[in-house]
Amino acid sequence: MCTPYLYFCVVTATLGGLLFGYHTAVISGALIYLIPAFQLSISEQAFAVSMILLGALAGSLVGGVLADRLGRKPAMLFTAVLFFLGSIVTALSSSYEMFLWGRFVSGVALGVITLVCPLYLAEISPSSCRGAFVSLYQLAITIGILGAFAVNFWFAEKGEWHWMFGCGALPAFIQVVFLFFVAETPPFLFRHHKSKEAQQVLTRLRRDRAWETQLDAMKSSAHQNQKGKWKVLFEPQWRRVVVIGILLSAFQQITGINALIYYAPKIFQTAGFPSADSAILATIGIGVVNVIATVFSVWLLDRAGRRFFLLLGATGMVVGLVSFVLSSLATSTLVDLIALISLMVYVAFFAIGLGPVTWVVIAEIFPLKIRAKAMTFTTFVNWFCNYLVSLTFLELVSLFGHRGTFLFYALICVGCIYFVYRCIPETKGRSLEEIEAELGRLR
């Protein structure tokens, strides 16, 4: 059903996920060296971490417009060029201000790609593999995070933080080159009255010609999608589904995952790891667990269901966090080992639940008419909460300690379990129209 050319387009687009993961996580290992290099205070450290997120907030607001006006492919090209420039500026920065600018530029790319990459994947895929291709995006994020942890470890010995950031330019460069060969998506082409070109692209993406029977539906759906102003999101008929999307997106972040992804080596150092190297090595362990658990989720999600994985995931996160909090009671030789295992449990359960399932549910629950706008909104909320966590984490730690802060995240996970149990509909195996009808009834 899928041609090798389709796989090529999928791999090229998912490089966007890889860049997402790399650019957000690389700061974790570099921070230890940035503090003395730029003499950073606590608030400057928090800002060094969260600057990329401010850029992402800005990017998430323009991503939808770029993708709709210029096209999905040019929007991806734009992000790849920005990622490349952001890496170079950050790597060469000789002052804190220049560093912040470099991170901001990478951030804008992040905000745009978060929306465009899943959108592109969903629009080029046949419906039978759409779920798998969208989850591949999350898998690519986790591989990017692991790549950043590994690069950090490689350069840790000499403290070469410039290279840690500079390496991010390589996948961006590869994506720029590959993007010249990928196709624009058929729905975008239909919407811009390039019907002939859209059909040529479909011929290259699909082995069979089954799509020919759906041509009329594709055309009318592409035009329907064009309508709708921002205020439709607040109409009573969509309110429930928009609130569910926003809350799920927020819970993915405020349960604290990025406190760990961005600050892991610092956390491990405080938990008793003797050197910066060993703390970064423990962080790699976190990255490996994140990738493996995501593969497990991608594999089983369509069988086990969204609700099950969300509930299981959030419950496991509570267990991991509480065990991290209790690890301080252990004897001194075991403290760091228990702390590491606890955080691995936490990340593993995030990776089977809130990590991938959030993106899948958000891509499924919005009716076509409001999908692009609702996704822009939820992506913005996601980045905003991400920003909030990264900005407040160090302050929370200085007020309540690591353990108090993680206990706080555990309580939010409990709130998330309640929310999922009460509000998230099971969307496994249902068509988007059935989901739309059911959410309409629940209103």
290 binds ligand BGC per the rule CB under 6 A: yes
Piece of 104-112, 183-191, 257-265, 432-440 that binds ligand BGC (CB under 6 A): 257-265
Max alpha carbon distance in the chain (Å)?
Answer: 70
145 binds ligand BGC, rule: CB under 6 A: yes
Question: CA-CA distance, 160 to 234, in Å (whole number)?
Answer: 49
CB of 387 to ligand BGC, least distance (A): 11
Q: 401: left (phi > 0), else alpha (psi -120 to 50), else beta?
A: left
Does 378 engage in binding with ligand BGC (CB under 6 A)?
no
Q: Of the listed pieces 149-157, 253-261, 323-331, 412-420, which binds ligand BGC according to CB under 6 A?
A: 253-261
Distance CA 391, CA 50 (A): 6
Q: Among residues 15 and 182, whose Cβ is nearest to ligand BGC? A: 15
- CA 67 to CA 79: how far, in whole Å? 11
Query: Can residue 168 be called a binding residue for ligand BGC (CB under 6 A)?
Result: no
Q: Which two tokens stand for residue 57?
A: 């907030």
Would you count residue 249 as binding ligand BGC (CB under 6 A)? no
Tell me the residue nearest to ligand BGC as measured from the CB: 355
Beta-carbon count within 10 A of 247 CB: 19
Pick out residues in 47-106 that bind ligand BGC (CB under 6 A): none
Q: How far is the CB of 259 from ligand BGC (least distance, A)?
A: 10
Which amino acid is residue 39, in one-letter code?
Q
Given candidates 12, 79, 125, 258, which one binds ligand BGC under the rule CB under 6 A? Answer: 258
**Are the C-beta atoms of residues 352 and 303 closer than 8 Å to each other?**
no
3-state secondary structure of 253: helix
| 424, 353 Cβ separation under 8 angstroms | no
Q: Site for ligand BGC (CB under 6 A): which residue of 345, 355, 402, 424?
A: 355
3-state SS class at 331: coil
Distance in Å, CB of 349 to ligand BGC, minimum: 12
Residue 152 in the binding site for ligand BGC (CB under 6 A):
no
Binding site for ligand BGC (CB under 6 A): 24, 138, 141-142, 145, 252, 257-258, 261, 290, 355, 386
